[in-house]
Amino acid sequence: MHELSLTESLIDAVLERTGDRQVTLVNLRIGALSGVLPDAMRFCFEVASAGTTLAGAQLKIDEPRGQGRCRNCKRDFLLEDLILLCPCGSADVEVLGGRELAVTSVEVA
């Protein structure tokens, strides 16, 4: 499960910036096409933050949907998974969104 190592890296990055201050909220953006499972991150966050100033912090995850644009028919459409096919049948698709994986904000007490 790579979510555990991602979560540990997330916690290390937040701790590096917040020092000894108690963290109350971490906001993440995890796109549907990022390859990261938000529920797994939630579980890992609770486990990996134990004993740190992030213990007990709320983790909010924004989960933007995948978006693509067909280079053939120029249509914009939603991508539910990494199978990049336009409804017109073309596989010449540009991914416009949904690959995000970022900390958007952190709140401290």
Where is the binding site for Zn(2+), in residues? 70, 73, 86, 88
51 three-class SS? coil
Say how far apart CA 7 and CA 3 lie, in whole Å.
6
Burial (CB < 10 A; 0-12, 13-18, 19+), residue 89, is: exposed
Q: Can you say which residues are annotated as belonging to the binding site for Ni(2+)?
A: 2
Do β-strands 66-70 and 76-79 pair in parallel, antiparallel, or remain unpaired?
Answer: antiparallel
Q: Is the separation of the CB atoms in 81 and 104 below 8 Å? A: no
Q: Taking the chain, what is the end-to-end CA distance rounded to the nearest angstrom? A: 31
Q: Can you say which residues are annotated as belonging to the binding site?
A: 2, 70, 73, 86, 88
